[in-house]
Amino acid sequence: MIKVKKILTEETYTIRFEVLRKDIPLPYKFNGDFEKETFHLGAFKNNQLIAVSSFMKVSNNNFYGDQFQLRGMATLESFQGLGAGKLMVDKAIEILKTQKIDYLWCNARVIAVDFYKKQGFKIAGELFDIKYVGSHYLMFNELK
C-alpha cells in the first residue's frame, strides 16, 4: 500500500535529481521551495520514499484567481505505474480546495500529458520547449 504525506523540502532532492535532472544541467533545487505557502508531498511504499511532488503559490497569466503550480513530480523508475502520482495529485487537490485555490497548473512533459488528463487536467496553449528537458504543454485543473 502506498501512503502520501507532507515531507520536508530537502526530502524531495534525491528523487528530483535522479528522475528529472540526472545528466541535465538544470537545478533540482527550485526557486520557491522554501516559501511559506509551498508544500511538498511524498509517496511511501513500505516506509520507503518512492515519489515526490511540490506545490508552489505561483501565478500564471493564463489563469485568474488563486493558483498553485505543481513542480518536480517524480517517481523512482522501479515504482512507476503503481499509482503514486495519482495519489499525490489527489492529496494536493484535497489540500488546495480547503484553501479555496482556483487553479492547479503545471508544465507537463509530453510523456506525462495522458497522466495529467486522467487526473482532470486540461491543456492550455501550444506545445513549447524547455531547454535540456524537451517538449511541454501548460496544463491546468480548475478546482472550484
At 124, is the pLDDT very low, low, confident or very high (cuts 50, 70, 90)? very high
Under DSSP, the state recorded for 50 is E
d(CA 62, CA 126): 12
Give the position of cell 480548475: 142
pLDDT tens digits, one per residue of 3-27: 999 999 999 999 999 998 888 888 8
Structural domain harbouring 39: 2-142
| DSSP secondary structure string for all residues of 18-40 | IIIITTSSS-SS-TTTT-TT-EE
Q: pLDDT at position 144, please?
A: 83
Cβ–Cβ < 8 Å for 92, 41: yes
Q: Read off the CATH number of the domain in which 16 is found.
A: 3.40.630.30
- Split into its structural domains, the chain has a count of 1
Q: Residue 129 contacts by C-beta under 8 Å, 6 or more apart in sequence?
A: 135, 136
d(CA 83, CA 20): 18
User: Does residue 88 register a pLDDT over 90?
Assistant: yes
